[in-house]
Amino acid sequence: MECQVITGARIAEKFLDELTRQIKDVDAQVKLVSFLANNDPSAEQYAEVTKKSCARSGIVFELRKIGREELEDAVIAANDDDTIHGILVYYPVFGGGHDQYIQNCVNPFKDVEGLCHLYRFNMYRNIRHIQGRKDLKSIIPCTPLAVIKVLEHCNVYDNDVPYGNQLRGKTITIINRSEVVGRPLAALLANDGAKVYSVDINDILLFYRGPDLELNKYKVQDTDKKLEEVLPISDIVITGVPSSNYRVPLDLLKDGVIAVNFACAKNFDDEIKTKASIFVPTIGKVTTTMLQRNLLRLYKYRTYGRYSNGTM
């Protein structure tokens, strides 16, 4: 069996086409404003990439550079500005808890990143809709959402069974437990029925929903397992180690594994192609596309009559 190498760009393609079509149908400018308050050149580069991707789908993207002590007021002013439909902030700004304070200052109806408490809570608690309304799907943070779309593209989800069981029977290892990607992703995949080994430098945790369908959200269990034990039993291995020196030990992988890397660094050597059935080396373009998808979704929610005041 040959390994399929699928780029993020290719996976993003169909979403971008769909977005472009939908944005054309909207009879107003859809506008995303991003705040750069940390002088980080890599954030500026990322803004450039986002701008290009937005230009393609027809979204107006504006970068605003400001001092960090002005950020809170600027975000709140953007909440109140009806010409702005999505707000994005490049973190870290202060580092630590004050960044999350800023995240929670963003109006949930403009929170394209899905980082405010409402969406985090829904994600961890396996609550799939806002206020129980079937027409208002909750927003999922862009990078974890991008990984899910990658896995959907790889036909890992069983669409014939109900939500919550579509990954039943799958064993997944995620090497990264950051609070922005690794932990939310482990929770999301476990909420979908997978058995997820979440690996960080200290230990390996098991995220699972188990066989009990009454159990409405994932649980976490300590394990004393080592990477050498979980990799050989994993159908899917997802990596996000931000170091240019780290490589997944390929000899431990199952033949036919699906390998996905969301780190900027290369976590798999090229020989992964001799082991994997599918290899996705980067997902950055899926992430920027998910940002726009969240934006369009929130734009539509706000224009629903009763929600037009932008409060939830």
Neighbour count for residue 154 (Cβ, 10 Å) = 17
Residue 281 CB, nearest approach to its own copies (Å): 28
Under the binding rule (CB under 8 A), the answer on residue 259 touching its own copies is no
**Residue numbers 208-247 binding its own copies by CB under 8 A:** 220-222
How many Cα atoms sit within 13 Å of 265 on the Cβ side?
A: 12
Residue 101 CB, nearest approach to its own copies (Å): 6
- Residues 28, 41, 96, 135: which binds its own copies (CB under 8 A)? 96
Give dist(CA 246, CA 227) in Å, integer. Answer: 14
- x/- contact string, 121-160, with its own copies (CB under 8 A)? x--x------------------------------------
Cβ within 8 Å of residue 118, ≥6 positions away: 108, 130, 138, 312
Give dist(CA 268, CA 250) in Å, integer. Answer: 8
Structure tokens at 271: 């020989």
- Residues 25, 80, 97, 214: which binds its own copies (CB under 8 A)? 97
Shorter beta-carbon distance to its own copies: residue 121 or 163: 121
Under the binding rule (CB under 8 A), the answer on residue 98 touching its own copies is yes
- The catalytic residues are 142
DSSP-derived 3-state class of residue 236:
strand
Cβ within 8 Å of residue 256, ≥6 positions away: 1, 275, 276, 277
Structure tokens at 257: 């594994």
Give dist(CA 119, CA 125) in Å, integer. Answer: 10
**Residue numbers 61-80 binding its own copies by CB under 8 A:** 67, 69, 72
Phi-psi region of 29 (alpha: psi -120 to 50; beta: other; left: phi over 0): beta
Selected range binding its own copies among 24-32, 98-106, 231-239, 288-296, rule: CB under 8 A: 98-106
Shorter beta-carbon distance to its own copies: residue 91 or 157: 91
**In contact, 155 and 245? CB cutoff 8 Å:** no
- x/- contact string, 21-60, with its own copies (CB under 8 A)? ----------------------------------------
Q: Which residues bind its own copies (CB under 8 A)?
A: 67, 69, 72, 94, 96-101, 104-105, 117, 120-121, 124, 179-180, 183, 205, 220-222
